[in-house]
Amino acid sequence: MVVSRTYLKEQKMKKKWLFTLSIVLLGVVMRSTFTTIPVVIDNVAHSFGLPVSQLGILTTLPLLTFAIFSPTTSYFTRRFGMEKTLLVALLLVLFGSLLRVASASMLFIGTILVGSGIAFINVLLPATLVKFTPNKIGAYTSLYSTTMTLMTAIFQIIAVPITKAFSWQMLVLFLSVIVFLVVVTWVLHMAINVDTSVNQRVHSVDNMPDQVHPWRNKYAWAMLVMAGIQSAVFYTSIAWVPTVAQHTGLTATQSGWVIGVMSLIGIPASMWVPSFLERANYKQRVRFMTGATVLWLIAIIMMYNTQAGLVWWLIVTSFIGLGGTAVFVYMVTSYAIRTRNPLESSALSGMAQTGGYLIAAGAPWAYGVLFAQLDSWFLQTTVMAIAILIFIGLMWFVERDQTIFE
């Protein structure tokens, strides 16, 4: 099916490279700004004189802010416009990132600001692609998702060397410089490429529906649950696969290798899958994604092996990386290709990500509580496997020869 975006007029850009560069740099900061700090959490705790246990919430805070602020994005977009809202989100990330080096209290406040800014970006980026590149959504989704996956892995690798050579504060300042570059390129894009004429505003706002009501839509609700499952299994895997691997006999160094493989092996999926999904009809999409999700399921089932060695875990994390990344890319691409205009895209994305990150915020914690009480990962891993089966069922329900709101 070719989606008819009847409310949308593609904006012509005088300097398209500015937009492209902005998308690439957004991919750099969308995860690395909050996933890099946990890698050097011991250094952070030592510099502020805090126990490491008190800083565990730094992983949960961004997910909670995603859940809180994602549903507000549509309101601010309608009131102030997509470009200005995205600029304010970037400024929140920049200000919050800089605050984190000031003191222990500012570390938590800054993390909340970073999370709130990323929440807006997560929702607005698919809608931005619908507006500026409606005929190249797959290509641009591939661009930012590949950059995000690659740079997350790279920053996790270089975080410790930079901290040892300089300090963790220097690591955060380095990330802040990249955020500043995104702000600059986005301001230039707004000044040069965005048509702010009266005719364009009338066309882009008045010709679109006044309201979109995703909370009344059964398919949007299904997308919310799917986003929750995807986020919960992904973040739980990131948090607990190294620990589970060590309990089966791997060393700490080897468990670091397998988690690195999980990040890097997903790059091919993030490069190819978005363009395929955009070209494919709904039957092709659901069949392909069922195969990718089953691969993800097989990896989770393989975690039952209590005598697994390094090769086994490399296979497990390779399957998680390929299947899990394909599922993540499927979700973010769907917010764009399964809607007809930026308003629908931001409304669907905001709703789905609200539920998704709310579920994801508690999943790693619950996995760890059960792990501590049972001294086993069988029960919670079974729950993850069942959740993936539910995801497959919902995907077959959602995929059809119409958009979400038709």
pLDDT over 60 (residue 337):
yes
Out of 1.20.1250.20, 3.40.50.410, 2.60.40.10, 3.40.50.11540, select the CATH number for domain 214-398. Answer: 1.20.1250.20
203 or 52, higher pLDDT: 52
Chain centroid to Cα 193, Å, comes to 26
pLDDT over 60 (residue 169):
yes
Average pLDDT of the chain is 85
- Domain positions in the chain: 16-206, 214-398
Least confident among 36-40, 118-122, 282-286, 297-301 = 36-40
21 falls in which pLDDT band (50, 70, 90)? very high
pLDDT digits (tens, 9 = 90+) for 103-143: 888 999 999 999 999 999 988 988 888 888 888 888 888 89
Contacting residues for 232 by C-beta, under 8 A, at least 6 apart: 356, 359, 360, 363, 384, 387
Share of the chain above pLDDT 70, in %: 92
pTM over 0.85: no
**16-206 and 214-398, same CATH topology:** yes
Share of the chain above pLDDT 90, in %: 35
Q: What is the mean pLDDT of residues 377-398?
A: 95
pLDDT digits (tens, 9 = 90+) for 314-329: 999 999 999 999 999 9
What length does the chain have? Answer: 406
Q: How far apart are CA 134 and CA 3, in angstroms?
A: 10
313 falls in which pLDDT band (50, 70, 90)? very high
pLDDT over 70 (residue 339):
yes
CATH superfamily of 16-206: MFS general substrate transporter like domains (1.20.1250.20)
DSSP letters of 311-324?
Answer: HHHHHHHHHIIIII
Q: What is the mean pLDDT of residues 191-205?
A: 55
Q: How far apart are CA 129 and CA 393, in angstroms?
A: 28
DSSP letters of 119-161?
Answer: HHHHHHHHHHHHHH-TT-HHHHHHHHHHHHHHHHHHHHHHHHH
- pLDDT at res. 266: 85
The distance in angstroms from the start CA to the end CA of the chain is: 13
- pLDDT at res. 382: 95
CA atoms within 13 A on the CB side of 249: 9
- pLDDT at res. 209: 52
- pLDDT at res. 290: 96
Contacting residues for 20 by C-beta, under 8 A, at least 6 apart: 140, 143
pLDDT over 90 (residue 238):
no
For residues 355 and 228, the answer to whether their CB atoms sit within 8 Å is yes
For residues 381 and 248, the answer to whether their CB atoms sit within 8 Å is no
Contacting residues for 396 by C-beta, under 8 A, at least 6 apart: 286, 290
202 or 279, higher pLDDT: 279
CA angle 34, 39, 42 (to 5 degrees): 115
For residues 32 and 182, the answer to whether their CB atoms sit within 8 Å is no
Least confident among 12-16, 109-113, 337-341, 401-405 = 12-16
pLDDT over 50 (residue 206):
no
Least confident among 95-99, 119-123, 237-241, 252-256 = 252-256
pLDDT over 90 (residue 226):
yes
User: Which of 124, 126, 119 lies closest to 143, judged by CA?
Assistant: 126
348 falls in which pLDDT band (50, 70, 90)? confident
For residues 323 and 292, the answer to whether their CB atoms sit within 8 Å is yes
pLDDT digits (tens, 9 = 90+) for 245-281: 888 888 877 877 787 788 788 888 888 888 898 888 9
